[in-house]
Structure 1
């Protein structure tokens, strides 16, 4: 009877292997599966020939030998290709064994004491079946948990930590606190030697390191490096494993197939491997929001290969989903807090402006009535200073009101080339003779959804800042529009493309220690500046769903980069006629 079961199992294995050989596309995989199918067929054949001895036909007993060899090669295939995790297999065997013993004990207790009473035996058997069905699922969960806790303590600690994290993250709103909570918890399990969180950078294309544990990974994963991982995510992978990428690279190098498709895939795999090594990630899980990759959660235990089992990876994926949700909630919270802050600031500004402007008007009127030209010496100069400073303070109050006042926006398909052209034409006559203004337009630029007047205000502010930064020195200010190909690839994983406007000067540049503060309200390096110009620019750009960043080196110049979401081609085609900005 047992031999018949073994023979049936081998026949089923052969049929499945033959079907797989016929359906697979990889020649290398076909060869490997074919060898396994031949081995299984040999094991079936010689196991069947063992039955000849029952009919007095002399034949050596070779079935067990071939069956053992076949099972050995099959086990090697399972281990090398990780078709089944060894820890998971051992845990399943142990838990199923314990579960079977418990259920058998229940059945025995309910049926063993029944002697020859057939009706009572049938009744108790039905009762035992119901009891087993009721206990099966909860008992299986408890037994598996007990087995993992006893025999795989580190794994149990990691699973418990991941389960607790899913709950604790719901009470976190600050992004830095979220990263600290997740990384500390994972690192303390002893199953992680490297852990890091990357988020989408606002100042340049790429992902910037938010926090890490263990050896420090690269601080910025730029566009070119991230492309391989993003392509893997776009193809449907929920987690990118270093061991799988390296195994696939090894297989392709053995194949050595010619052709562009083969070379492109090998390059993508090498790019993915390089990105994972830069981030020091054995497993990299994308943080997704609205079909966009907003960051990565990276883990690695470099002490052992194949460090994480499938159920651990499933929990890691759940943690990453919660992280992405918390990140989006954090952004919404920041927007609400900013809105409330501006509302309170606006109410205060309206009353403050009234209280300040009335005495300012009186001071200015009195100073002008004294007529500084008629007063001798320094007296006239002092009155001129009074009038000048009153005008400057009035400008500060006006800028403060503009910053605190809610933006009135009128969005529509906007041609940025036309906005740049009209704005430069408007300020051309006000440019000093020492400053040259150059415009470079990308004629392939798609439209953006924006308010042309507000974007014009941003460009005027940036150009005026560049003029003031260059002072009396001769220099050039360049305003350029473009749709960067690399940046488009970088966003393509999220299904969104961007357009870019750069305002560049060759002035003195901005010191590195000042760059993080230039968009902070009331921060200024000018003697008579309000410190609100760039803050207003940033607010306008953010309301357009874009970003504004700065790149500068002392002595070389400064570039302000505005990135705005581009409209899809179908929207652009049905937009306003070429050269007409939105109202």
Structure 2
């Protein structure tokens, strides 16, 4: 069996494998089916050519005649299969499809005519048939070249150029194979190039990424070099023992062992050498990412970690935009931690990140902009539309909008505790499809390591905060003792004096002394409350009940000029919490609202609800409930928002600056978050988010029915403060203005 026969058999086997593998794919599109037909037709041509070479006409006349006819017939079917596939692949007009079908039918008729008649034995007839087949195949090559010239996408232009060059090489070397029929010696390369081109087409259909095609070329080069080295090893070890059968078998076994030992290390070295020689920038990126993974293990600070990752990526020269976003604690969304290149959006709201969150929830490791845009273009060409089509197109639009805002070509969700704790965003705006598959794989490893270190950093911060508070508590206990003893003496001495014995401002001095001692004692008490470890008693808690009891407790302390209202979600899931501590948070927030409103007419509302936004993206254990405390007071200036939860920060004349800090600490100990939404002149809303108990969520079938309520609406109950309970809430008669001014001067 000569090399021509062996190469024909190999081409038929590979073509058959490629065609069958595409047919076995579930839910395959039409283009994959047409590719399978094309690959199987090429495989059939080389299989019939194999049988023609195996059964020469001199020894097997009938078998040779049948194989010649089969070769001609199957060869005439190749142009039809090729044109049908490429017309579908390129998405040309229906008129061109009609011309292609007619051309394929004409080719099949001509092939059948030659195959079943004595013309099959004529050399000139076979040559004419070969010229017709090759000429017809050139028509789809011209279609590729035309599409290369007319396409506007640079990515598509490169991809189609590769396909056109490969098609030209396969047709050229297949034509040169016929030189042997005229007695002109020429190596058989047509079957090799045709097989490579079929594999190249399959890779293009499945990946549709330009960098993957570069990667394919690199792998072909590395595998060729590796095969040559291993073949040389085998030849050297077996060539000198051919005359002695036993020695030859022994050398063959030795060569097999040597090849098995050298295969893996040689493969790694050869691939590294090929990448280093032909893809220098890619080698530099892979090397930098590999060293980055090792250096990340020694970093615990979040800011330092972000700086290390972004600097390393930016210094490779393969990234023009890089950024890291982390989950915000004060409101739903992701805040920019650090970036390199043009500044992206500072805050990514959860509504904007909906598409990215859905991709992460569906198990997608990375989101590539080119894949999103290509899928959107494909869907817009579809004729059938429905709810599923509209939902997917909306998700793709949301995803692309988020990628544009964070200036990312590839976004990797950072996962921690089964939730998205941040995003790593990279983009090289100079080239499309900037990262190959192996590069993306290492980027995913870096992102996974980054997420792990971020989680460890948060644990480290919690431990450090616990130790700091423990030390502060010990110091505060001693300090409070030293301060309260003289305060008690001062207050006791002042109270022993009889105010009736003093006249004018002297009596007010006594009142100021007692009042300021009480205020200082309150500051010390608040400091101790903040510093000492909290004693918590967690259990299944109904937030609606906590809110109702708290409002009944404080409603008598609300001035008559203020309206207090409560709105409860009757289907609110329960939480795992300490009811007394949650009551303390609510009292503090309502008291702050009362102080902010002052003597003006106003409204304070407390509302419970379970937000429905993005509920489909969370697991059962990641549901949250909210308590909102709102007022229509003067609001909080934007420059004060980052500081209001900082201990000892206050804008009040008599404030300690610990109320909101204690509230935040309590809520965080419950696994939740507290945030503020405020506009100057419109009021403020403090939002408390607590994780719900999944086993306590009432099913939809048990939801209470409220007459007149639309289907699917969560029932709620409003509880305004009754007027008859306000009698005791009347403020005392205000002291004269002159007296208040004197008090201010005395404190100053």
Q: TM-score under structure 1 normalisation?
A: 0.92
Distance 1:249-1:14 versus aligned 2 partners, 3 A rule: farther
* d(CA) in 1 for partners of 2:696, 2:645: 35
CA contact (8 A) 2:354 2:614 kept: no
Consecutive unaligned residues of structure 1, counting only runs of 5 or more, are 579-583
* d(CA) in 2 for partners of 1:379, 1:359: 22
Aligned partner of residue 514 in structure 1, secondary structure: helix
1:302: Cα distance to partner? 2.1
Task: Output aligned runs, 1:242-257, within 5 Å.
Answer: 242-257=369-384
Distance 1:187-1:361 versus aligned 2 partners, 3 A rule: same
Distance 1:140-1:311 versus aligned 2 partners, 3 A rule: same
Residue of structure 2 aligned with 1:454, choices 535, 556, 581: 581
* d(CA) in 1 for partners of 2:227, 2:38: 33
Deviations 1:322-367 (A, max 9, x none): 0110110111011101110111111111111111111111111111
* d(CA) in 2 for partners of 1:420, 1:314: 50
Residue of structure 2 aligned with 1:212, choices 317, 329, 339: 339
1:123: Cα distance to partner? 3.1
* d(CA) in 1 for partners of 2:620, 2:454: 16
* Residue 681 (structure 2) aligns with: 555
* d(CA) in 2 for partners of 1:73, 1:49: 18
Whether 2:207 is the aligned partner of 1:82: answer: yes
1:105: Cα distance to partner? 3.5
Deviations 1:33-64 (A, max 9, x none): 23222322432444455566953733525499
Distance 1:142-1:40 versus aligned 2 partners, 3 A rule: closer
* d(CA) in 1 for partners of 2:399, 2:12: 39
Consecutive unaligned residues of structure 2, counting only runs of 5 or more, are 58-64, 66-120, 138-166, 172-193, 705-748
1:194: Cα distance to partner? 1.5
Task: Output aligned runs, 1:116-195, within 5 Å.
Answer: 116-195=243-322
Residue of structure 2 aligned with 1:506, choices 632, 636, 643: 632
RMSD after superposition = 2.5
Deviations 1:282-337 (A, max 9, x none): 11111001111111111112222221111111111110110110110111011101
* Residue 144 (structure 2) aligns with: none
1:544: Cα distance to partner? 0.3
Further displaced range: 363-372 or 118-127 = 118-127
Task: Output aligned runs, 1:137-536, within 5 Å.
Answer: 137-486=264-613, 488-489=615-616, 492=618, 496-536=622-662
* d(CA) in 1 for partners of 2:696, 2:573: 11
Q: What count of residue pairs does the alignment treat as equivalent?
A: 570
* d(CA) in 1 for partners of 2:224, 2:374: 34
Task: Output aligned runs, 1:108-119, within 5 Å.
Answer: 108-114=235-241, 116-119=243-246
1:413: Cα distance to partner? 1.7
* Residue 25 (structure 1) aligns with: 27
CA contact (8 A) 2:568 2:608 kept: yes
1:79: Cα distance to partner? 3.4
1:118: Cα distance to partner? 3.9
> Structure 1 runs of 4+ off > 6 angstroms?
none
Aligned partner of residue 316 in structure 2, secondary structure: coil
Distance 1:73-1:129 versus aligned 2 partners, 3 A rule: closer
CA contact (8 A) 2:411 2:425 kept: yes
Further displaced range: 221-230 or 48-57 = 48-57
* d(CA) in 2 for partners of 1:273, 1:325: 27
* d(CA) in 1 for partners of 2:659, 2:206: 59
Whether 2:670 is the aligned partner of 1:544: answer: yes
Deviations 1:522-565 (A, max 9, x none): 11111111111111100000000000011112221111110111
Aligned partner of residue 486 in structure 1, secondary structure: coil
Distance 1:360-1:500 versus aligned 2 partners, 3 A rule: same
Further displaced range: 115-124 or 445-454 = 115-124
Distance 1:152-1:345 versus aligned 2 partners, 3 A rule: same
* d(CA) in 2 for partners of 1:401, 1:223: 37
1:246: Cα distance to partner? 1.6
* Residue 6 (structure 1) aligns with: 8
Distance 1:569-1:256 versus aligned 2 partners, 3 A rule: farther
* d(CA) in 1 for partners of 2:501, 2:557: 32
CA contact (8 A) 1:162 1:319 kept: yes
* d(CA) in 1 for partners of 2:383, 2:355: 21
Aligned partner of residue 266 in structure 2, secondary structure: helix
Further displaced range: 328-337 or 370-379 = 370-379
Further displaced range: 523-532 or 105-114 = 105-114
Further displaced range: 267-276 or 71-80 = 71-80
Deviations 1:125-174 (A, max 9, x none): 33332222222211211221122122211101111111111111111112
Deviations 1:252-279 (A, max 9, x none): 2222212211221222222222222222
1:570: Cα distance to partner? 5.1
1:89: Cα distance to partner? 1.5
* d(CA) in 2 for partners of 1:45, 1:130: 37
1:379: Cα distance to partner? 2.2
Further displaced range: 434-443 or 88-97 = 88-97
* d(CA) in 2 for partners of 1:508, 1:287: 39
Further displaced range: 336-345 or 219-228 = 219-228
